[in-house]
Structure 1
Amino acid sequence: MYRRTFLTSLAALGVAAKPLFAQAPAVAAAAPAAAAKAASPAAAPAKTWPIAPQFYPTEVDVKPDLAVGSIIVVSDKFFLYHIIAPGKAMRYGVAVGRSELQFRGQATVARKVEWPSWKPTPEMVKRSPSHYARYAETGMPGGPGNPLGARAMYLYQNGHDTGIRIHGTIEPSSIGHAVSNGCLRMVNDHVMALYKVVELGTPVTVY
């Protein structure tokens, strides 16, 4: 059913025969000077994360009619796209909700918090009291050990909190998997970069 909904949504965007997103062409080979510099002991090592390389932040080509500034999440591919210019997007890897908890639809970034506090929802406590009951009353203050990570963007629909967040994670190895309680997890470095450029009121579409 999700796939049928996804394809119907793409058709509504006018992309029936053409993919919504297209990977930007990769550079065939580094220039000799650049390669020599990369091999130099003085060169800074490339940043790495405990995730598959395809989930590293990557600038990609997208359809030029997608609204600049908007966020689009393709859940079954575990990708979040932030449209940065006509036909261009920054693509990040995400973790999404388990199959029975996946969020689909449109929302708006209505709140942004640095090092957010966290409190499980009543539904989470009911599903897994051994994990969440101890936090049901007081929650957990923000910080490096908090499940929401370094930054959180809160998604609302019609002025109401959906309970869904785009947030950091203390489990970066979960990126590329359907494991969350519905929220969209990102590596802390990545969500911090996205947080800086996403404004309140940003439209978010999750397929």
Structure 2
Amino acid sequence: MKSASSASARVLLASATIALAGLVSGCTTSSTLDPTAAAMATTYPSALPVEFRRQDVTDPTGEAPGTIVIDTASKFLYLVEPNGRAVRYGVGVGKEGFGWNGEAKVGAKQEWPDWVPPPEMLQRRPELPLRMSGGPENPLGARAMYLYRDGKDTLYRIHGTNEPLTIGKAMSSGCIRMINFDVTDLYERVPVGAKVVVR
């Protein structure tokens, strides 16, 4: 009985370590499917303010249904729905000097994407790995939607995160971060080709 309790404690400690592990998010990725989806949390951290939890709201964007609108100032992502409604998600956005705006499209989608830090990030952070396989410790989280403009990869993504308490903050290298189960929800709702507006 004691050994079962010890094993349970070790599993809980490992889970907590995974949840707390964090790397600065980069935006150049490829993909590999990782079967460790069970490690993904299914509730919001209690410390995350309620306004950054997924909600059905009146659409404030004026965009057509199916459009993703990211309001970087308020740290919200809206998925516009019919009849004047939208799903609002809390997001993390680019820190000062890394933000961007404009229009793009979802050019590709990946589950448990690999992370390949871009050369500029490796210059700033040479200790980072050249590649990290997809999984719960990966800074791109459970899902990634790759943003394209004029048919070319912008190197920006909407992706999950293993640092859930960065939601509502400006801490990324320009990509849009979401809680893993929120990015999974958005991923299921949004097709390749969806319009993305970053304001």
Alignment of 1:39-188 (within 5 A): 47-49=43-45, 50-63=47-60, 65-130=62-127, 132=128, 135-136=129-130, 139-188=131-180
Q: Which has the higher contact order (CA 8 A, sep 6+)?
A: 2
| Most deviating of 55-64 and 97-106 | 55-64
Task: Please state whether the residue corresponding to 1:76 is helix, strand or coil.
Answer: coil
CA distance in 2, matches of 1:183, 1:65: 23
CA distance in 2, matches of 1:48, 1:116: 22
The structure 1 segments of at least 4 consecutive aligned residues displaced by more than 4 Å after TM superposition are none
2:197 matched residue in structure 1: 205
CA distance in 1, matches of 2:136, 2:65: 32
Q: CA deviation at 1:51?
A: 1.5
Aligned partner letter, 2:57? V
TM-score (norm 1): 0.73
Task: Please state whether the residue corresponding to 2:97 is helix, strand or coil.
Answer: helix
Aligned partner letter, 1:48? Y
Task: Please state whether the residue corresponding to 2:89 is helix, strand or coil.
Answer: strand
Aligned partner letter, 1:73? I
Q: CA deviation at 1:129?
A: 1.7
CA distance in 2, matches of 1:168, 1:57: 14
CA distance in 2, matches of 1:90, 1:179: 23
Aligned partner letter, 1:123? E
Deviations 1:58-83 (A, max 9, x none): 01102584200000000010000001
RMSD between superposed Cα atoms in Å:
1.5
In the alignment, is residue 192 of structure 1 matched against residue 188 of structure 2?
no
Contact kept in structure 2, 1:118 and 1:140, CA below 8 Å: yes
CA distance in 1, matches of 2:154, 2:60: 28
CA distance in 2, matches of 1:101, 1:76: 13
CA distance in 1, matches of 2:118, 2:63: 34
Q: Structure 2 unaligned segments of length 5 or more: list them.
A: 1-41
Contact kept in structure 2, 1:66 and 1:87, CA below 8 Å: no
CA distance in 2, matches of 1:123, 1:162: 14
Higher CA-based Rg: 1
Contact kept in structure 1, 2:111 and 2:144, CA below 8 Å: yes
Q: CA deviation at 1:157?
A: 0.4
Q: CA deviation at 1:47?
A: 4.2
| Most deviating of 94-103 and 49-58 | 49-58
Distance 1:123 1:58, change over 3 A: same
CA distance in 2, matches of 1:123, 1:199: 30
Contact kept in structure 2, 1:98 and 1:179, CA below 8 Å: yes
Identity between Structure 1 and Structure 2 (%): 45
Contact kept in structure 1, 2:53 and 2:90, CA below 8 Å: yes
